[in-house]
Amino acid sequence: MVSPGPDADRTQTRPGVVRVLGPADLPAALAVLEADPVTNVFADYRSRITQLDQRWLGGQMWGYIEDSALVSLCHVGANLVPVQAGENACAAFAERALSQRRLSSTIVGPAESVRWLWRDLADAWGPARDERWDQPHLVISTPPLVAADPGVRRTTPEEVDTLYPACVAMYTEEVGVSPEADGGRNLYRARVTQLVNKGWSFSRIEGGKVVFKAEIACASPLACQVQGVYVDPEHRGRGVGASGMAAVVAYALAEIAPAVSLYVNAHNAPARAAYAKVGFSQTATFSTLMF
């Protein structure tokens, strides 16, 4: 339970209040996150590794409080991510967001919450560069249903130079903009290197070229989330994605977390077929808006 109390850093809303959370609020925030730990894995991960200290968050975590209880969260950084956020909470978060300049390049989260946020933010923040309203959120917590590709393994630090062009290609294909645009190369390469050093990058490399790769983007004690799944165009349509993902799932379940999640665009039929073949099933629908 978190009491709002008198605080100049809180925005009065109807019927609750919004305030910036800090390290003292971590236990209450984790209790909110644990209501759906797989869906909320990104915010859970960010909360745990930063302890809700703004210096490490690179942004803020907002809390929505009703009747002295913290009931919803909103991660505010490069990604604006609503957590367990109903209509009232989303209205309050949107009101807070409109009181300051936009910090986020993406809104992402459960579809209903994103729609509620966008209803109030669209006039001021829109138009979005891309709106992806139907993104099945998929989860697997049992061994994969297909054989894992034995060639897929953790990427080593010595392989970053080989891995990096595939990461750029995947990002550009998926997002529609190169991660190196506007001087972003150093930051993106640092992120790729960080995931490799954490042991969260998996790849199959043949002849100095990436055939398959994927990363664990975030993890908590209860779940992890896969991102950046990529199959070299010359190898698509051969089952490489399914067997590669089976290898990633096997590694993740054994060494990282008891559930593996990801979300995918509904129109990406080949990827959805590969994930279904591995054993992923849909548990929710996400939406992503990009600016």
- pLDDT tens track of the chain, all 291 residues? 443 333 334 344 457 999 999 999 999 999 999 999 999 999 999 999 999 999 999 999 999 999 999 999 999 999 999 999 999 999 999 999 999 999 899 999 999 999 999 999 999 999 999 999 999 999 999 999 999 999 999 999 999 999 999 999 999 999 999 999 989 999 999 999 999 999 999 999 999 999 999 999 999 999 999 999 999 999 999 999 999 999 999 999 999 999 999 999 999 999 999 999 999 999 999 999 999
Q: Look at the chain and report how many structural domains it folds into.
A: 2
Q: Check whether residue 175 and residue 65 sit in a common domain.
A: no
CATH number at residue 270: 3.40.630.30
Domain residue limits at 92: 10-126
| CA–CA distance, 283 with 123 (Å, rounded to integer) | 31
- 291 falls within a domain: no
Are 172 and 90 in a shared domain? no
CB 94 within 8 Å of CB 88: no
Q: Do 148 and 177 fall into the same domain? A: yes
In this structure, the answer to whether residues 171 and 212 fall within a common structural domain is yes
Q: Is residue 259 part of a domain?
A: yes
Residue 5, domain member (yes or no): no
> What DSSP character marks residue 155?
P
204 and 113, same structural domain? no
Co-location of 14 and 72 in the same domain: yes
Q: For residue 110, what is the domain's CATH number? A: 3.40.630
The total of other beta-carbon atoms located within 10 Å of residue 4's CB is 18
Mark whether 121 and 144 lie in a shared domain: no
Q: Which of 104, 126, 148 is the last residue of a domain?
A: 126
Domain-terminating residue out of 102, 126, 150: 126
131 domain-assigned: no
37 secondary structure, DSSP code: T
pLDDT of residue 14: 52
- Taking the C-alpha atoms of residue 107 and residue 87, their distance in angstroms, rounded to an integer, is 16
How far apart are the C-alpha atoms of 226 and 47, rounded to whole Å?
18
Contact 85, 113 (CB under 8 A): yes
Pairing state of beta strands 281-290 and 106-110?
Answer: antiparallel
Asked, for residue 289, whether it belongs to a domain, the answer is: no
84: left (phi over 0), alpha (psi -120 to 50) or beta: left
Tokens of 93: 């978060």
153 and 249 together in one domain: yes
Domain match, 150 and 246 both: yes
pLDDT at 75: 98
**Rounded CA gap, 176 and 277, in Å?**
27
Instruction: Indicate the residue among 74, 91, 126 that finishes a domain.
Output: 126
What is the token pair recorded at 58?
Answer: 């690179």
Listed in order, strand segments (DSSP E) in the chain are 10-12, 17-20, 60-66, 69-76, 79-83, 106-110, 130-140, 153-154, 201-206, 209-219, 224-231, 260-263, 281-290
Q: Same domain, yes or no, for 211 and 258?
A: yes
Residues 172 and 278 in one domain: yes
Residue 29: inside a domain? yes
Decide: 287 and 180 in contact? Cβ < 8 Å. Answer: no
Does one domain contain both 189 and 241? yes
Q: Give a yes or no: residue 109 inside a domain.
A: yes
Q: Does any domain span residue 135?
A: no
